Chain A
């Protein structure tokens, strides 16, 4: 240690004292405790930490001073050291170890904490005389610490012993145990250095050594090495004691990080000698409870993640019910004696990118649409909501229904192209059914061709004309088609979740199967048709998970 360092920091404390008007006794106590603390740190810590900066922090309140000393040396709680024994004559008095009792006596409270790789000792002094400055002051100072070759004659030998004791007394097992009780034991044990990251133990392994971490750290993984959740055993900690005591196989993965130094204690020495050293069993028990607490923490973290998951799940459930609420209510037009319509959407996840809509523009014209946003889940659902809102906002109709349908999709494309940084798009089939003239005007924007049947005729695909999909290419014009739609006719719209439904062998349902199953339906009621399509998909999939949203909308003109 450099004498000038303690001197320098002592001067700083005295300057604080005179600036804030400490009483003589208060200043004496503070300076004494600080000097003892620093002396202690310097004499206990490994010389490798010499020269690293220490930090001193003083925090002053009206009637209280809090002094905090940080040092970067190996973990060491000065308050864990037993006080020197009482002796009867001056000859037996052992020099050294008086510092900590002085700190206990002359500070009002003390606390040790290992934090961010530093030892942190906090000393609290209740001041006998309130300080003169009204507002609290906070001062921080970094001090430099170096060992110097020069030291007190008597201290040299003692210092060496105490460093060796320090090296063990900060470990959990040997916490506070006099070095004399361990000296002969420790001499026989080996120290092992792990050069590269190494898997030391894995579940099921037989283990017969206790490893005390002298430097570096061990990581304990419950699930698999390298997984996110692990318990870290840093310098001073130990592993292996459980399997040594109960002879059960190892229950977790233990990985040593590169450069870790371990004191290896064989099971015989551990059980028959070390555990008999007074104080060791208490240390073991407190280490067990600490470890239990930290594994509880890991479990709690896991539970918290699950709860968060549940929360997200609940949010998605809300989103699902909002999305379902946007769709037209079933049954559709129950009071309408000219139309028989039914729609149904089943999403692959909680929310989806499919949609359909149907409403009267006026007493003679019914507008309908079915759409499919690329992708699935929440992003698709947000775009779907945009598309539906934009379509519902289109009111009034100018020109012929064919023009109107074409303009509608042209405008929708323009609207969705703007503010579309995520480059989403959708396919849609929309149309206007003119109930007066029994004519269907429609626009197909990249969507699956719907199935159509007139009267008692077979279902076929309504394929022409075809237009590009909506939302990515600006300035497109869309062409409408028209077809006679006399009473008894049925239009069945669907999304690709129907025709691209897969079975377990990778086959797809396809348009032909769809048409033949529709043609198998005798009474072409819309509800029956929709039901038929869903059960065809269900039967075809043979239990394979639904991978896409499935939507079907059937519109028929009553005879």
Chain B
């Protein structure tokens, strides 16, 4: 499980996850993910290279969104695959965290 962070234009923090957000995968990126969202007001989490997400992964995302929201900011998700999108819908998370199909529309939302 890899995590990389880059600043996109407009001061948007873009977090790219690469790998499975299952229990061990989530554990391995948890600290870096939390550090990357801390203090940011515009966060895009790119799920384009996440082939699997379980509820531990969802918790990571929700906790991140809550932290950003507390600081008065926004966190959005981008490029989830079809199954991941279904999971976000089932858990109701897609009603609380905005989900975009591609990076451009995500960036345009801020």
- Say whether B91 contacts A98, CB under 8 Å: yes
In the complex, what residue of chain B is closest to A40 when comparing beta carbons? B55
Q: Which residues of B contact A4 (CB under 8 A)?
A: 24
- Say whether A39 contacts B56, CB under 8 Å: yes
Q: At the interface with chain A, which of B9-17, B40-48, B63-71, B102-110?
A: B63-71
Distance between A196 CB and nearest chain B CB, rounded to angstroms: 43
A36 at the interface (CB under 8 A from B): yes
Q: Which residues of B contact A152 (CB under 8 A)?
A: 27, 30, 56, 59
A53 at the interface (CB under 8 A from B): no
Q: Which residues of B contact A523 (CB under 8 A)?
A: none
Cβ contacts B81-110/A at 8 Å (1 or 0 each) = 011001100111100110000000000000
- Say whether A3 contacts B27, CB under 8 Å: yes
- Say whether A91 contacts B70, CB under 8 Å: yes
Q: Which residues of B contact A90 (CB under 8 A)?
A: 62, 65-66, 69, 96-97
In the complex, what residue of chain B is closest to A90 when comparing beta carbons? B96
In the complex, what residue of chain B is closest to A1 when comparing beta carbons? B23
Please report which residues of chain A, range 54-105, place their CB below 8 angstroms from some CB of chain B when the two chains form the complex. 86-91, 93, 95-96, 98-99, 101-102, 105
- Say whether B83 contacts A99, CB under 8 Å: no
B18 at the interface (CB under 8 A from A): no
A99 to B59, CA, bound (A): 11
With contact pairs A93-B93, A95-B62 given, residues A32 and B87 touching in the complex (Cβ less than 8 Å): yes
Q: Which residues of B contact A89 (CB under 8 A)?
A: 69, 96
Q: Which residues of A contact B55 (CB under 8 A)?
A: 35-36, 39, 98-99, 102
- Say whether B92 contacts A86, CB under 8 Å: yes
- Say whether A7 contacts B63, CB under 8 Å: no
- Say whether B69 contacts A10, CB under 8 Å: no
A337 at the interface (CB under 8 A from B): no
Distance between A358 CB and nearest chain B CB, rounded to angstroms: 91
A89 to B98, CA, bound (A): 12
Q: Which residues of B contact A1 (CB under 8 A)?
A: 23
A195 to B13, CA, bound (A): 61
- Say whether B63 contacts A154, CB under 8 Å: yes
A388 to B52, CA, bound (A): 85
A315 at the interface (CB under 8 A from B): no
Number of interface residues of A (CB under 8 A): 33
CB contact between B62 and one of A93, A99, A105 (< 8 Å): that residue: A93
CB contact between B22 and one of A6, A86, A99, A101 (< 8 Å): that residue: A6
- Say whether A36 contacts B27, CB under 8 Å: no
Q: Which residues of A contact B52 (CB under 8 A)?
A: 28, 31-32
In the complex, what residue of chain A is closest to B26 when comparing beta carbons? A152
A1 to B82, CA, bound (A): 29
- Say whether B96 contacts A154, CB under 8 Å: no
Q: Which residues of A contact B96 (CB under 8 A)?
A: 87-90, 93
Cβ contacts A1-16/B at 8 Å (1 or 0 each) = 1011011001000000
CB contact between B23 and one of A39, A101, A106 (< 8 Å): that residue: A39
A25 at the interface (CB under 8 A from B): yes
With contact pairs A39-B54, A90-B62 given, residues A6 and B23 touching in the complex (Cβ less than 8 Å): yes
Q: Which residues of B contact A3 (CB under 8 A)?
A: 23-24, 27
- Say whether B66 contacts A36, CB under 8 Å: no
- Say whether A101 contacts B90, CB under 8 Å: yes
Q: Which residues of A contact B86 (CB under 8 A)?
A: 105-106
Q: Which residues of B contact A155 (CB under 8 A)?
A: 59
- Say whether B59 contacts A7, CB under 8 Å: no
A99 to B51, CA, bound (A): 18
With contact pairs A39-B55, A90-B66, A152-B56 given, residues A6 and B24 touching in the complex (Cβ less than 8 Å): yes
13 more contacts with CB within 8 A, not counting A32-B83, A152-B30, are A7-B24, A10-B22, A28-B83, A32-B53, A32-B87, A35-B54, A35-B55, A89-B96, A90-B65, A90-B69, A93-B66, A95-B63, A105-B90
Listed from nearest, the 7 A-B pairs whose CB atoms lie closest are: A3-B24, A35-B54, A105-B90, A90-B96, A98-B55, A6-B23, A98-B91
Give chain B's interface residues, CB within 8 Å of chain A: 22-24, 27, 30, 51-56, 58-59, 62-63, 65-66, 69-70, 82-83, 86-87, 90-93, 96-97
Q: Can you report 16 A-B residue pairs in the complex whose CB atoms are below 8 A from each other?
A: A3-B24, A6-B23, A24-B83, A28-B52, A29-B83, A32-B54, A35-B55, A39-B56, A89-B69, A90-B62, A101-B90, A102-B87, A106-B90, A152-B27, A152-B59, A155-B59
